[in-house]
Amino acid sequence: MAKRALIYQIYPASFGNLNFITSKIPSIAKNIQPDYIWLSPFFKSPWQEGGYDVADYKEVDQRFGDLTDLKKLVFVAEQHGIKILLDLVLNHTSVEHEWFQKSRCRDPWYADYYIWLDKPLNWQSFFGGPAYEYDCIRGQYYLHLFDKSQPDLNFENPRVTQEFQKIIKFWTDLGIAGFRVDSANVLSENKLRRGYLPRIPGFFNYFQTKRTVQVLDRLLGGNKLFAIAEPVGGVFLSFTKFRELTRHIFDAAFNVGTLDIADTVLSDKASSVPVRYKKWFRKLARWSVEPSFSLAIESHDAPRAPSRFDTDPKILAMLQFLLPANYPCVYQGQEIGTKNPELGDNIHNYPGVLSHAIYQQLLRSGKSKKDAMKIVKKVSRDNARQPLDWSAFASQAKQPDSVLNFYRKLTALWRTDPVLTCGNLKVKKTTKSGVFDFERRYHSQIYQVHLDFSGKTTSTLAGPHGIILSSKPDQIIPRK
């Protein structure tokens, strides 16, 4: 049987601090029983970009606690059979990181830690706007593929790789089981190119992929850590190519394209283009048979799925756990069917830089403030970064038909049922209106899955003896 693992993602700011996360581990274990919990960054950070702007990789940000709290978290998780993964943000640091502060002053040791140019290229950052920013202290431009608060590290400099070798050792000595590697495919740039980064054909022409793979190999190859890659771009071709080159380094990989239901970047367009179900289902079916594929339908980078699809969270859960993907990743709160909160019509209620970038872009394109806000409300990833509704966990635990109890049943089936753990996939039907029928077959046993995102018919998992799971529970006929 292929290797499999269930991952549960936590965005620490939604929990408040590390001790609070620790206090929730017993119930996470009971509800989802994940093999791994991946913690998004909790490191020292000025929090310009949700913690993905790291100012010190070996320090817990004060707001979350300290290293002793983290050790406790690792210990309690282990007692519940869960291992901890950290987010390894390799591509960039915060401008406040000591390395950048020294680099901009041309300290000889650090001068080449970042990518400095006298004349900027015309690259656009993933967040929109120029990817090169002038630094008046150094008198040169630095590259930032993401926000300008996140200067890109220069992996041509072996010292940078050595720094991360030390960081990885520091965390693994502390009992960390592995890493989710942020923006793993864009570590090394091809500096001679001019052009525009996001969603371009030939994405990989902009990066020195072989060099990136060498760096990743040096950092993560040949050890016992669990490593899961987040290649950015979301294009199937680039994802496949990257996977081929890094199979020996990563146990699993996400594809951000699975979050992108409308086949547009998660930006202004995502709200105005109707969901292309047929295309999306086919994409998921094609990708989910890849043995190391990690299927995520939510994350800290996308609004809540039940709101985006306007559908029953149970149907989304069935999609995630009945397709054959070996590394499903559940985002915090998915298991109670969390929807987008009401963050209001004021852009200042949206702390993320990306929400502001989208808003400004919409105003520049001629939208009124009101119309721009309507879109930001829908597409902002700040929707997924809110505190969780803890009382809903308690009340749903008591209701047999709740989303939470549905998750409990579904994840237990995913873990133990041979048809789901080993069965082949055969797609039977996909429609534009949101019907996805497929079959899972293991030897002579066949399960039929019927999903209907429109809600017009009941979504079901049926075995040879009747319905095993149904989005409308009153229709379940007990299995003989």
- Per CB under 6 A, residues contacting ligand GLC are 49-50, 52, 89, 146, 182-183, 230, 232, 300-301
408 closest CA partner among 479, 469, 339? 469
Rounded-to-integer distance, Cα 299 and Cα 40, Å: 10
What's 340-360 look like in SS3? CCCCCCCHHHCCCHHHHHHHH
Indicate the residue among 197 and 413 with the shorter CB distance to ligand GLC. 197
- CA 333-292-445 angle, to 5 degrees, is 85
**What does the block give as tokens for 445?**
């046993």
**What does the block give as tokens for 45?**
């950070």
Indicate the residue among 145 and 404 with the shorter CB distance to ligand GLC. 145
Residue with token string 């079959």: 439
Min separation Cβ 329 and ligand GLC, Å:
12
**Which amino acid type is present at position 382?**
D
Indicate the residue among 145 and 449 with the shorter CB distance to ligand GLC. 145
Strand partners, 88: 181
Rounded-to-integer distance, Cα 184 and Cα 214, Å: 12
Min separation Cβ 106 and ligand GLC, Å:
26
Min separation Cβ 182 and ligand GLC, Å:
5
Q: Coil, helix or strand for 229?
A: strand
Q: Is 108 exposed, middle or buried (0-12, 13-18, 19+ CB in 10 A)?
A: exposed
> Which residue minimizes CB distance to ligand GLC?
52
* DSSP class of 422: H
Min separation Cβ 280 and ligand GLC, Å:
20
Q: 214-233 burial, b for 16+ CB within 10 Å, e for fewer? A: bbbebbbeeeebbbbbbbbb
**What does the block give as tokens for 152?**
């890109």
**Which amino acid type is present at position 363?**
L
Indicate the residue among 146 and 281 with the shorter CB distance to ligand GLC. 146
The alpha carbon dihedral of 376, 380, 385, 388 has a sign of: positive
Indicate the residue among 89 and 297 with the shorter CB distance to ligand GLC. 89
Min separation Cβ 241 and ligand GLC, Å:
19
Min separation Cβ 402 and ligand GLC, Å:
29
Indicate the residue among 183 and 311 with the shorter CB distance to ligand GLC. 183
* Rg (the chain; Cα; Å): 22
Indicate the residue among 35 and 182 with the shorter CB distance to ligand GLC. 182
Min separation Cβ 310 and ligand GLC, Å:
24
Min separation Cβ 354 and ligand GLC, Å:
7
Indicate the residue among 233 and 306 with the shorter CB distance to ligand GLC. 233
Min separation Cβ 271 and ligand GLC, Å:
19
DSSP secondary structure letters along 236-294: HHHHHHHHHHHTTT-SEEE-GGGG-TTSS-TTTHHHHSPP-HHHHHHHHHHHHTSTTEE
Rounded-to-integer distance, Cα 45 and Cα 405, Å: 37
Indicate the residue among 86 and 419 with the shorter CB distance to ligand GLC. 86
Indicate the residue among 38 and 277 with the shorter CB distance to ligand GLC. 38
Q: Coil, helix or strand for 369?
A: helix
Min separation Cβ 137 and ligand GLC, Å:
23
Min separation Cβ 300 and ligand GLC, Å:
6
Q: No. of H helices and E strands in the chain?
A: 16, 18
Indicate the residue among 47 and 442 with the shorter CB distance to ligand GLC. 47
